[in-house]
Amino acid sequence: MPASSPLRGGGAGILAMVSIQPSGQFDPAPRHTEDDGSLASPLGRAATLMVGILAVLWIVELINGATGRNLSQAGGIRPRDVASLVDIVTAPFLHGNVEHLAGNAVALFSLGFIAAVPSIKRFLLMTAIVVVVGGLGVWLFSPSNTVSIGASGVVFGYFGYLLMRGFVDRRPVDVVVSIGIGLAYAYPMWHSIGFGVTNISWQGHLSGLVGGLLAAILLRQPRNRVKPAATDPMPTLPSAE
């Protein structure tokens, strides 16, 4: 932004563009560390990202359905097929039908949104870990002659990440979030793993969960220690004579 742009709004514009730091220095750029309703705020960035991810999933689903599900066969994970290792990246974007995607969409958005609010960069790194670990689990342990697709492994990864994040970061708010995620999602997640259920990859669900737990440990951010504020020494009073 040009240096002269803050002056166009008059006095109010100047106050909106400059913040005073505890050290007494001026910060010329606004920092959206709190929710101000803008898309640049933490909530705005997280919501925009998750809406974008869902939009991509629905676009891929429309194309996949229009082409006779050819994308599912081409981009799904085929266990222990070296040529299919690259499909670890594509499989989460593909679904068996509209109902499959719709079943994942709500949890994907809600859990992803909560995970993305503190840091988009950390969220993307966490997602990459979940996708790789979950996909490798499918590639290694799923039955032969199967093709695995879907974002449910990522959903389980987000669940595991949020469940663990509060206890490794040890921030009070994250601990409360972890407890809330456990209370809200533990029961449906347990019943969605799909042990022994036909056409459900429990290997992908369990591997995604492990990926989320691992990501929380690898990306942990311990609480910063608060340093005592520096104070000026008291002036020495002259002695009375």
Read off the pLDDT of residues 147-170 as tens digits, 9 standing for 90 and up: 999 999 999 999 999 999 999 998
Mean pLDDT of 85-111: 97
The answer on pLDDT for 182 being more than 80 is yes
Rg of the Cα trace of the chain?
Answer: 24
Yes or no: say if 91 and 135 are a contact pair by the CB < 8 Å rule.
Answer: yes
The answer on pLDDT for 6 being more than 50 is no
Mean pLDDT of 177-197: 94
Q: How many domains does the chain have?
A: 1
Domain presence at residue 102: yes
pLDDT band at 14 (very low <50, low <70, confident <90, very high): very low
Domain presence at residue 126: yes
Tokens of 231: 């104070």
Domain presence at residue 16: no
Q: Tell me which of 12-21, 47-56, 97-106, 180-189 is least confident.
A: 12-21
Tokens of 136: 């490798």
Domain presence at residue 224: no
CATH classification at residue 207: 1.20.1540.10
The answer on pLDDT for 237 being more than 60 is no
Domain presence at residue 57: yes
Domain presence at residue 164: yes
Domain that holds residue 202: 42-218
Yes or no: say if 144 and 80 are a contact pair by the CB < 8 Å rule.
Answer: yes
pLDDT of amino acid 238:
58
pLDDT band at 73 (very low <50, low <70, confident <90, very high): very high
Angle in degrees, 0-180, between the axes of helices 152-169 and 98-116, rounded to the nearest 10: 20
The answer on pLDDT for 32 being more than 60 is no
**Phi, psi for residue 26 in degrees, rounded to 5:** -95, 140
CA distance 226 to 238: 36
Read off the pLDDT of residues 105-154 as tens digits, 9 standing for 90 and up: 999 999 999 999 999 999 999 999 999 999 999 999 999 999 999 999 99
Tokens of 206: 């369990």
- Determine how β-strand 26-27 pairs with β-strand 19-20: antiparallel
Ordered alpha helix ranges (H), 24-97: 42-66, 70-75, 87-90
Domain presence at residue 118: yes
Q: Looking at per-residue confidence, does 230 or 162 come out higher?
A: 162
Yes or no: say if 27 and 21 are a contact pair by the CB < 8 Å rule.
Answer: yes
Length of the chain (residues): 241
pLDDT band at 235 (very low <50, low <70, confident <90, very high): low
pLDDT of amino acid 221:
84
Taking residue 237's Cβ as centre, other Cβ atoms within 10 Å add up to 6
pLDDT of amino acid 25:
52
Task: Please report where in the chains the tokens 């499959």 appear, as a residue.
Answer: 100
**For residue 14, how far is the Cα from the chain centroid?**
35
pLDDT band at 5 (very low <50, low <70, confident <90, very high): very low
> Roughly how many angstroms between the first and final C-alpha of the chain, as a whole number?
62
Its pTM stands at 0.80
Domain presence at residue 231: no
